[in-house]
Amino acid sequence: MRKGMFVLHHNEPHQVISHEFVSPGKGSAFTRVKLRNVLTSKMMDFTYKTTEQVELAEVETRELQYIYQEGNNFVFMNPRTYDQVEVSGEVMGSDHNFLKEEMICHVQFYNDQPIGIFLPKKVTLEVTEAEEAVAGDRVTAPKKQAKLETGATIAVPIFVKTGDKVVIDTSTGEYVSRNN
Amino acid sequence: MSSHQFNFPVLKQRAVIVQAIRDFFRRSGFWEAETPQLVPLPSMEPYLEVFETQLLDQNRQPTRAFLISSPEYAMKQMLAAGSGNIFQITKSFRNAEGVSPRHNPEFSILEWYRVGADYLQIMDDCEQLLKSIAKTIHPDQQPILEYQGEIYNLTEPWERITVSQAFKKYAQIDQKTLLTTPKLLAASKERGYQVNEQTTWEEVYNQIFLNEIEPNLGKTKPTIIYEYPVSQAALSKKKKSDPRFAERFEFYINGLELGNAFSELTDWQEQLNRLKEDQQEKARTGRTLFDIDYNFINALKSGLPECAGIAVGVDRLVMLFTDQPSIQETLAFPATHLWPELIK
């Protein structure tokens, strides 16, 4: 069982949000998972026997290019067929913080419905606004806040300036390096 | 590497709670035993994996050594030798459980044993202990626990329900079905659980317990769930009036298990048989194997007095009383900080 994977639970596709080991006193081992029903977005807990065979939901991944936002939806295009697909804000989650036009993403489909998205592991974004560094604050890590061209705010090292291009790890949302 | 943030208010509160626990037991006629964490043979708990290391002599010749998964065997040897009522707060270690909001590989365990008592008196101890911690933290208010927006009333009596009653109430499974393997397997399959030729009674019993019963325990006040099917109580006495059940209980707040208690098994022969079965189970499941601790068996042979005892997760208690979402927040150096790669 891995975080992010899609499984069939009572014949409906669910994404594994988190999982933990459970051993009830003098009992064998179990895995407690938090599942999100990808059709209804409903969250639930379920405890599997660790010996259980879990059926994977047949999820297909397609490479699509982000073109624009429309209300709460994000419109993607298949660069080969020019077919358009709308991904809801719910499916997008906080990933929109690092989503930039023309970015190529992996969108996951179940029965032709978009149910998940992966941004490139690392993206390069421009800093549109960086705080002045505060000198002398050495107790906490030497970081400051910077606003990116996508509107998101992240912590960056104090040497980063407005106009710099920075590399972000999209899985953690953290600054990786400067890339001017 | 990011700098480590210590949550000093929570850590100081932890120290207050641990002190309150020690004060409670001293006032109640217990003394604090100190038993080793590094031992030649750990407890034979069939479903737990141990931490193994080596003890080297002066010529660097190795001997097997283990970290304890609980101080139980050592404390029972002291009881058999006439210690009287004892308690202990010590570190214990469990391997291969991963890190989750409720698990850390190294954790603090509180055990206490009452001589001449059975599990019913340990239930009373639990009620008084939690009330006493609440009173230490908030001397001028009713003994309540506020956790993640919910309020739990710690005043006795807590809710008490037997395992049989709980299966009936929350899963509509009657006692006969519960105790009959083919019936329980069929009932479990009917409820949509995966059941095949390898599935055991123990697996479906626990899967139903974890999915359908546990979330209902300890909703507005703590719940004591007691009288477990006898196979689920390796170190406990059978109930005299109904030997299909054992004198074991657990107590819960908000679906979280906080402690596991028994009227302790004093019959050395039965204990030895159960340890052999547990050792077989360890072999079957590919866990680290080690010998049966005959010092423990010999202590029982010499005469363990009638007694009852319990193990309580101190980190979980601190998590509840400091209103933290996970036990990691209650530790100065959680495993997730020491081994950041474990989080993934």
pLDDT over 70, % of chain A: 93
The mean per-residue pLDDT over the stretch B236-240 comes to 90
Q: Which two tokens stand for residue B153?
A: 């009333």
Counting every residue, how long is chain B? 344
What local confidence, expressed as pLDDT, does residue A138 receive?
Answer: 53
Tell which wins on pLDDT, A94 or B265: B265
Tell me whether residues A21 and B98 touch, CB distance under 8 A: yes
User: For testing the chain B interface, which of A3, A7, A31, A49 should be mutated: the one with the most B CBs within 10 Å?
Assistant: A49
What local confidence, expressed as pLDDT, does residue A67 receive?
Answer: 95
The mean per-residue pLDDT over the stretch A80-108 comes to 91
Q: Residue B134 pLDDT more than 80?
A: yes
Instruction: Reduce the DSSP state of residue B109 to 3 states and report it.
Output: strand
The mean per-residue pLDDT over the stretch B238-242 comes to 92
Closest in A10, A30, A52 to B210, CB measured: A30
Tell me whether residues A47 and B250 touch, CB distance under 8 A: no
Tell me whether residues A140 and B3 touch, CB distance under 8 A: yes
Tell me whether residues A20 and B207 touch, CB distance under 8 A: no
pLDDT digit string (tens) for B274-309? 899 889 988 888 899 999 999 999 999 999 999 999
* Residue A21, min C-alpha distance to chain B (Å): 6
pLDDT digit string (tens) for B13-49? 999 999 999 999 999 999 999 999 999 999 998 888 9
Omega before residue A79 within 30° of 0, cis: no
What local confidence, expressed as pLDDT, does residue B59 receive?
Answer: 95
* Residue B56, min C-alpha distance to chain A (Å): 33
CB pairs under 8 A between A and B: 63
Residues 6+ apart with CB under 8 A from B138: none
Q: Is B273 within 8 Å of B72 (Cβ atoms)? A: no
Helices (H), B200-313: 201-208, 268-284, 294-303
A contacts of B206 (beta carbons < 8 Å): 24, 27-28, 30
pLDDT over 90, % of chain B: 84
Task: Identify the CA nearest to A129 among candidates A150, A143, A102.
Answer: A150
pLDDT band at B92 (very low <50, low <70, confident <90, very high): very high
Instruction: Reduce the DSSP state of residue B116 to 3 states and report it.
Output: coil
The mean per-residue pLDDT over the stretch B227-243 comes to 88
A46 and chain B in contact, CB less than 8 A: yes
Q: Residue A157 pLDDT more than 60?
A: yes
Q: Is B77 within 8 Å of B123 (Cβ atoms)? A: no
Q: Which two tokens stand for residue A80?
A: 């080969």
pLDDT digit string (tens) for B148-177? 999 999 999 999 999 999 999 999 999 999
Report the distance separating Cα B128 and Cα B122, nearest Å: 10
A28 and chain B in contact, CB less than 8 A: yes
User: For testing the chain A interface, which of B200, B203, B252 should be mutated: the one with the most A CBs within 10 Å?
Assistant: B203
Tell me whether residues B206 and A32 touch, CB distance under 8 A: no
Closest in A23, A24, A29 to B209, CB measured: A24
Task: Identify the CA nearest to A10 among candidates A29, B256, A28, A42.
Answer: A42
pTM score, two decimals? 0.80
Tell me whether residues A20 and B101 touch, CB distance under 8 A: yes
Q: β-strand B159-162 against B223-229: which pairing, if any?
A: parallel
* Residue B152, min C-alpha distance to chain A (Å): 22
| CA A21 to each of CA A47, A48, B70: distance values in angstroms, whole numbers, following the listed order | 9, 10, 19
Report the distance separating Cα B53 and Cα B195, nearest Å: 38
A50 and chain B in contact, CB less than 8 A: no
pLDDT over 70, % of chain B: 98
A contacts of B208 (beta carbons < 8 Å): none
User: Can you say how many angstroms the Cα of residue B59 is from the centroid of all Cα atoms in its chain?
Assistant: 39
Q: Is A126 within 8 Å of A163 (Cβ atoms)? A: yes
Q: Please give the full DSSP string across A98-129, using - where no structure is assigned.
A: G--TT-EEEEEEETTEEEEEE--SEEEEEEEE
What local confidence, expressed as pLDDT, does residue A142 receive?
Answer: 72
What local confidence, expressed as pLDDT, does residue A28 receive?
Answer: 75
What local confidence, expressed as pLDDT, does residue B1 receive?
Answer: 42
What local confidence, expressed as pLDDT, does residue A135 receive?
Answer: 59
The mean per-residue pLDDT over the stretch B1-6 comes to 65
Residue of A nearest to B2 (CA): A141
The mean per-residue pLDDT over the stretch A37-58 comes to 87
What local confidence, expressed as pLDDT, does residue A20 receive?
Answer: 85
The mean per-residue pLDDT over the stretch B259-287 comes to 91
| CA B150 to each of CA A35, B83, B107, B303, B320: distance values in angstroms, whole numbers, following the listed order | 23, 41, 26, 46, 11
A25 and chain B in contact, CB less than 8 A: yes
Report the distance separating Cα B263 and Cα B207, nearest Å: 25
Residue type at B70 in one-letter notation: S
Residue of B nearest to A30 (CA): B207
| CA B301 to each of CA B35, B85, B268: distance values in angstroms, whole numbers, following the listed order | 20, 20, 6
What local confidence, expressed as pLDDT, does residue A26 receive?
Answer: 56
A177 and chain B in contact, CB less than 8 A: no
Residues 6+ apart with CB under 8 A from B26: B32
* Residues in B lying within 8 Å of A, measured between beta carbons: 2-3, 45-48, 97-98, 100-103, 192, 194, 198-200, 202-203, 205-207, 209-211, 215, 232-234, 250, 257, 260, 285
For A170, half-sphere exposure in the C-beta direction (CA atoms, 13 angstrom radius) is 22
Helices (H), B200-267: 201-208
- Looking at residue B219, what DSSP letter applies? S
* Residue A45, min C-alpha distance to chain B (Å): 8
Closest in A28, A53, A140 to B202, CB measured: A28
The mean per-residue pLDDT over the stretch B99-128 comes to 95
Task: Identify the CA nearest to B319 among candidates B159, B102, B158, B139.
Answer: B102
Q: Is A52 within 8 Å of A39 (Cβ atoms)? A: no
pLDDT band at B98 (very low <50, low <70, confident <90, very high): confident
B contacts of A51 (beta carbons < 8 Å): 198-199, 203
Residues 6+ apart with CB under 8 A from B115: B79, B84, B85, B305, B306, B307
Given the cut 0.90, state whether the ipTM is greater than it.
no
Q: Which residue is associated with the tokens 């029982």?
A: B300
* Residue A138, min C-alpha distance to chain B (Å): 10
The separation between the first and the last C-alpha atoms of chain A, rounded to the nearest angstrom, is 40
Q: Which two tokens stand for residue B176?
A: 């006969």
Closest in A22, A26, A49 to B203, CB measured: A49
Closest in A26, A28, A53 to B203, CB measured: A28
The mean per-residue pLDDT over the stretch A56-72 comes to 91
Q: Is B69 within 8 Å of B125 (Cβ atoms)? A: no
Q: Residue B344 pLDDT more than 60?
A: no
Q: Which residue is associated with the tokens 């003890």?
A: B55
Tell which wins on pLDDT, B37 or B99: B37
What local confidence, expressed as pLDDT, does residue A27 receive?
Answer: 65
